[in-house]
Amino acid sequence: MIKLSILLRLFYNYMKFRFFILPVLLIYSCTKISPMAEETLPIDELPDSLYFFDIMTWNIEQFPIHQSTTSKVVTIIDSLKPQVIALQEINSESDFQEIIDILPQYNGFRSSSASYSLNLAFIWDTNFVKITDIYEILTWYSYPLPRSPLVMECRINELDFVIINNHFKCCNDGYERRKDAVIILKNYIDNYYNNSRVIMLGDLNDNLNDSENLNVFLPFLNEKESYIFVDEFFEVEDYSYPSSPSHIDHILISNELYEFYNSQYTEKYTIKLTETIDSYLTQVSDHLPVYLKLVFE
């Protein structure tokens, strides 16, 4: 039985934020970039023989930064309905749990080991996603990886996935730490998830298109037979960090997913919530979500 307090909060959220839902849906369907095909199809127009998996990474700045942050995040998730969300900077456990309480089809897990409580988390749609295990890795590398990577092993559409959520050290003084973090993570994935369907994503705090002498991602970028950043060729205007325009939130897949990624129905884009959500940068986050949809033929 749903608690009366939850019902009242649902009604409150609906009344306060109902005008946001349609704009969010419009931006979700209209801001696709770098598609694999000239045209992409909405989910309800996919052939019956196909099914899909969608995931997004989202840094919700020091969540929550405003008294309305939680309600707006609930509205955004309920509008977009991704199957898996990898979150960064989840400060409040109680507000995180409130999201789960209000959205009954979702469940979630928040780590608690990060400095300054800027923890990693996952939210997933229980109608599609079966969790096998959730755990942290590389906890002994606290300097290059100040937020220990959070791994979710799960089954979606009868396929097993390993999803690795990250938040690298920011800013210019973190360059060497990010460079080391990439080397450590790649070695770990190569050794422990060599034959797995891996998605590595998160706020990686650096650009994919830096020159070779400054590019921390070269270990992955130089092995395209094994790994691809799906957002490598996003246009300049589709940055994920509008506060200081740059694209620093990324999604990487291993070659076990290439056959699905090469589908004509694949979609990947930045969701431009700053254009549709009132006061997004001051009341929700300084980052935008980056989204990937894989279709299984």
pLDDT at 93 (0 to 100): 96
Report strand pairing: 129-136 vs 150-156.
Answer: antiparallel
Question: How many of the other CB atoms lie within 10 Å of CB of 125?
Answer: 18
> Between vectors from CA 54 to CA 52 and to CA 57, what angle results, nearest 5°?
165
Digit-coded pLDDT (tens) for 219-236: 999 999 999 999 999 987
Digit-coded pLDDT (tens) for 271-291: 999 999 999 999 999 999 999
Digit-coded pLDDT (tens) for 121-134: 999 999 999 999 99
pLDDT at 33 (0 to 100): 27
Domains of the chain: 4-296 (3.60.10.10)
- pTM of the shown model: 0.85
Digit-coded pLDDT (tens) for 246-272: 999 999 999 999 999 999 999 999 999
- What percentage of the chain's residues is helix, strand, coil (to nearest 5)? 35, 30, 40
- Residue for token digits 């309920």? 78
> Can you tell me the distance from the alpha carbon of 14 to that of 211, in angstroms, rounded to the nearest whole number?
47
